[in-house]
């Protein structure tokens, strides 16, 4: 599929440059800026709401300090989701994370 003539866009958290070079494809890499703390906080809030079991009951929240730490540690890597999942799995009640 990648060897036939044409153009396409690939959106990924992984740089596929080596693969493209190996098969002789020309490519442009456009690196998007990292999320701001506010943007990441909104994404996390939406994800929590999406998996909420009971709309009327409270849910854990993620603090700005935690968001800042996640951005420093993971940047825009999807590992943020894995890390948050592990934190939420360890909760024994409704807390700020």
pLDDT of residue 1: 56
Give the largest Cα separation in the chain, rounded. Answer: 55
| pLDDT mean over 29-42 | 82
pLDDT of 4 reads 67
Confidence band, pLDDT 50/70/90 cuts, at residue 93: confident
Q: Are 40 and 67 in contact (CB under 8 A)?
A: yes
pTM exceeds 0.75, yes or no: no
Burial 42-62 (b: 16+ CB within 10 A, else e): eebeeebeeeeeeeeeeeeeb
């Amino acid at each position: 599929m990648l060897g036939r003539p044409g153009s396409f866009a690939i959106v990924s958290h992984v740089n596929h440059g080596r693969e493209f070079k190996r098969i002789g494809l020309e490519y442009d890499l456009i690196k998007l800026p990292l999320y701001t703390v506010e943007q990441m906080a909104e994404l996390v809030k939406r994800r929590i709401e999406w998996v909420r079991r009971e709309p009327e009951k409270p849910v854990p929240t993620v603090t700005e300090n935690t968001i800042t730490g996640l951005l420093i540690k993971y940047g825009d890597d999807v590992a943020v989701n894995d890390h948050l999942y592990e934190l939420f799995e360890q909760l024994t009640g409704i807390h700020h994370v």
